[in-house]
Amino acid sequence: MRRPARHFLLLCLAVALTGCATGRHLEPATGRSAPAPVLRFGVDTFAFPNESRSKNVGKPDLYANYCFVMARAITQFHHFARFAPDAPRLTPAEYTERVRQVTSRAPWHDPLPLEERVVIPGFASLYELSAAEELAVKAGLPGRFWGWVHWTNWRVTFPVTGAGQERVVAETLAEIEAGRPVQLLVTNLPTVELNHTVIAYDYRVYEGRFLELRVYDPNDPARPGYIAFDRAERRFFASDVFDTNPGDIRAFRMYYSPLL
């Protein structure tokens, strides 16, 4: 076998095993109070939605299939932008350029010090900016094509183990406790209903057995969504995800390294 082909196969195997690796123990995280939420919903989130094609047939200027772009941008704004509400406002074109500067940085990089971040003048938050300058913000966000075809999206077709899913939730809790939002790829394939991404930013434990993640869903800017993890059966389920029936799902982390 030629060396490039061998390396490619080894890389595919490594990605597949992320769904099968032994899970980290959850007790240390779930045995103490959850930290403060990493994001403030309705402040650090977008004011506009990723729109559904099936629910907006014929709508002009439909903003659809941008869920991966929007979720990734939440992390990028969290890490690389700061808002200066008392500074003079810019033109729409200048806001578009500021958004491009923020979203051109890889989301897996460490957050920048405040003095090195891209300054967004005239607004106090991402929500305010995206409400007042919706078109400028959309113009500054990346295109959706590469989000569709990103090679790690094919993980939704891989089998998973309980240990692998436990590892995902343990890493998610660790990131939230460290003050970082977590982008998750969620799916209920082979049911053709949910193949989507959300941002986990808070959690709670209830009934001693279930761990519930509060998530920002790009499809619903009006309220948070929820996915839960059954610690006994080591599986995720959608407890309150926009336009999705409650039931078992699989979850994978996204954009936390150059490969994944």
pLDDT higher than 60, residue 2 = no
Residue 211 has pLDDT above 80, yes or no: yes
Residue 213 has pLDDT above 50, yes or no: yes
pLDDT at 73: 98
pLDDT at residue 93 greater than cutoff 50: yes
Alpha-carbon distance 234 to 168, whole Å? 10
On the question of pLDDT at 153 being above 90, the answer is: no
Query: CA distances (Å), 134 to each of 34, 71, 142, 176, 198, in order?
Result: 33, 16, 14, 28, 20
Q: What separation in angstroms does the CA of 20 have from each of 11, 16, 81, 165, 219? A: 15, 7, 36, 8, 30
- pLDDT at res. 223: 95
CB 199 within 8 A of CB 189: no
Q: How confident is the model at residue 11 (pLDDT cuts 50, 70, 90)?
A: very low
Do the beta carbons of residue 237 and residue 227 sit within 8 Å? yes
> What is the Cα–Cα distance from 139 to 96, expressed in whole angstroms?
6
Q: What is the chain's mean pLDDT, rounded?
A: 86
For residues 228-241, average pLDDT: 94
> What value does the mean pLDDT take over residues 209-226?
96
Specify the pLDDT at position 71: 97
Which amino acid makes up residue 223? R
